[in-house]
Structure 1
Amino acid sequence: MTDQPKPEAAPETALGRLLAIMARLRATNGCPWDQVQDFASIAPYTIEEAYEVADAIRHGPDFGALQDELGDLLFQVVYHAQMASELGRFGFADVAETISEKMIRRHPHVFGEAAARDAATQTAAWEIQKANERAARAETGTLAGVPSGLPALTRAAKLTRRAARVGFDWPDAAAVLDKLEEEAAELRAELPGADPARLADEVGDLLFALANLARKLDLDPEECLRGANAKFERRFQGVEARLALRGLAPGDASLEAMEAEWQAVKIEEKQHM
């Protein structure tokens, strides 16, 4: 007997239940922890849940995990809307209406009389519409509206992508590599003094240039770093496993021994590629 698909719950009923649960948690006889939260204290959880959604997609997608993580992310939206409602600012329905109006406004080729566009033309039109919206909010300047809360590498790529639209950009990836060498030399020159502020400044310049290099290569710098993190994690776990066969833990082994195992793990990886 084959599994039957689970009937989808009525969106209005399910959402109404979630909104009621959120209101109950924040009520005077609700959850003590939820009662004392504010926008600033909840914001880190919102960011974390968005990353967990991306993680569920990256590993499959795992639809069971994705459903669960999307629920967690939706709860964050409901949470912020509930707190705003308590202040008399806006509610969840206002949030939904705002995004609905925005999507209609940004897709005149779908909801209006404008002719249908190909993807590239629509992307350009989308950016123009967003620029108009920023201007209406008195956000002026080429870099206006790039959220400061983005991961730093992502924000670096977005800032320079904006600047590139007005011609402020390196000609190619090779030119960015030259800039990387320049920044690395400046960092090396600061090492003898080891002033923390100067070192932080130079490391920041180096990371910024790396984000630009990724952008020029049509790569996402965050994804590149995630891949490097995963590779390091996988290889270091391999080092631990190889040391364990010798009855050793990493803290018991010399740096030279760990480096030898690291190189052995890399060779094994290449052999299985």
Structure 2
Amino acid sequence: MKQTYSVEDLQYLMAQLRNPDGGCPWDLKQSFASIVPSTIEEAYEVAEAIEQEDFEHLHEELGDLLFQVIFYAQLGREDGHFDFSRIVDTLVRKLVRRHPHVFPSGDLYGENQSAELDEQQVKANWEAIKAAERAKKGEGGTLAGVATGLPALTRAAKLQKRASQVGFDWPDIHGVLEKVEEELRELREAIASGDQAHAREELGDLMFSCVNVARHLKLDPETALRQSNRKFEQRFGAVEAALAARDQQPADVSLEELDRLWDAAKTARDQGPETG
């Protein structure tokens, strides 16, 4: 057995899993569409490991995500669409093209000398190059090419970012916060009217405005919400633990008692090393 396996070994393993003669029945049944949920799940597990600073297991999660790429490459090779080499070649060419300040010759191994650009100039060039690429593909319009399959919060942030690049944006966060308050008032009115469809629309507008707040603060809305999810889980877990010590369940006590235990859990957390 080899001491260290390589990407080539991983490709060989994938080919064996998909081998009609002796391969894995589960892997042989899969298609591009069927493994998409696994790809999304693996990407979020990578994000969670990074957020938790779980570097001991991050390399394993990255491997699981890489396996998804290898799986797609194998499916692409079998169907005659592409293979792993083409994936890598396309990626390298795109990154060289999008970094002219590092590769002015347009060649990874050509005569290159880094240009003196600050971060803002690099970002501006990057977006201009991406816009040119979209235009070449026939994807016209400022908002073209923002994947519809993205999580809604992430897609909202990307749409807003694209619009801001052509000047359609609030000059500062104060206008954004006023918009949040406006949308909240409109949601209250929609709820009072009893119109469920209108309430859903106004709720979406409120959430869209909250994403705008995150963008102006240079925060990722998905990350912020995941942090709040974890905080809720931790506090509710503390409530359940306190009740379990009394041989009770949440359904056994009043809402007032649950609120009291919740406040106690919140106070305990705020007095700890982490606040929020």
TM-score normalised by the chain length of structure 1: 0.89
**Worse-superposed segment, 86-95 or 38-47:** 38-47
Q: Give distance in 1, aligned partners of 2:60 and 2:270.
A: 36
1:105 CA drift (Å): 1.1
- What SS does structure 2 have at the residue aligned with 1:242? helix
Shift of 1:190: 2.4
Paired residues for 1:201-220 under 5 Å: 201-220=201-220
Q: Specify every segment of 5 or more residues in structure 1 that has no aligned partner in the other structure, as ranges.
A: 1-6
Tell me if 1:110 matches 2:87.
no
1:53–1:69 CA contact under 8 A, matched in 2: yes
CA contact (8 A) 1:147 1:155 kept: yes
SS of the residue aligned with 2:34? Answer: helix
- The reply to whether residue 82 of structure 1 matches residue 94 of structure 2 is no
Compute the displacement of 1:123 (Å).
1.6
The Cα of 1:95 is off from its aligned counterpart by 0.1
Determine if the alignment matches structure 1 residue 20 to structure 2 residue 12: yes
| Equivalent residue runs for 1:140-155 within 5 Å | 140-155=140-155
Asked if 2 retains the 8 angstrom alpha-carbon contact of 1:154 and 1:221, the reply is: yes
Look up the match of 1:33.
26
Superposition map of 1:19-168 within 5 A: 19-29=11-21, 30-63=23-56, 65-112=57-104, 113=112, 115-168=115-168
Letter in 1 for 2:177: L
Cα distance between partner residues in 1 of 2:269 and 2:50:
25
Alignment correspondent of 1:4: none
More divergent stretch after superposition (31-40 vs 99-108): 31-40
Query: Amino acid of the residue matched to residue 94 of structure 1?
Result: R
In structure 2, C-alpha distance between the alignment counterparts of 1:147 and 1:46, rounded to whole Å = 16
The CA distance in 2 between the partners of 1:185 and 1:263, in whole Å, is 28
Unaligned runs of 5+ residues in structure 2 are 105-111
Q: Aligned partners of 1:199, 1:40: CA distance in 2, in Å?
A: 34
- Write the distance in 1 (CA, Å) between the matches of 2:196 and 2:19: 47
Structure 1: how far apart are the matches of 2:65 and 2:152? Answer: 21
Q: Is the 8 A contact 1:110 1:116 kept in 2?
A: no
Shift of 1:27: 2.3
More helix by proportion, 1 or 2?
1
Partner of 2:108: none
Distance 2:54 2:237 in 1: 25
Q: Root-mean-square deviation (CA), in Å?
A: 1.9
Q: Which stretch of the first structure deviates more once superposed, 202-211 or 111-120?
A: 111-120
Compute the displacement of 1:264 (Å): 1.5
- 1:219-271 alpha-carbon deviations (Å, 9 max, x no partner): 21111111111111111111112222222111211111101111122222233
- AA matched with 2:250: P
What is the CA distance between 1:38 and its match in structure 2? 1.5
Highest relative contact order (Cα 8 Å, sep 6+), 1 or 2? 1
% identical aligned pairs:
52
Cα displacement (A) at 1:8: 8.6
SS in 2 for 1:144: coil
The whole-number CA distance in structure 2 between the counterparts of 1:115 and 1:214 is 32
Amino acid at match of 2:82: F
Deviation (angstroms), 1:195: 4.4
Q: 1:246 to 1:174 in 2, by over 3 A?
A: same
Give the secondary-structure state (helix, strand or coil) at the position aligned to 1:39: coil
Q: Would the alpha carbon gap of residues 45 and 188 (structure 1) be closer, same or farther in structure 2, given more than 3 Å must change?
A: same
Residue type of the alignment partner of 1:224:
A
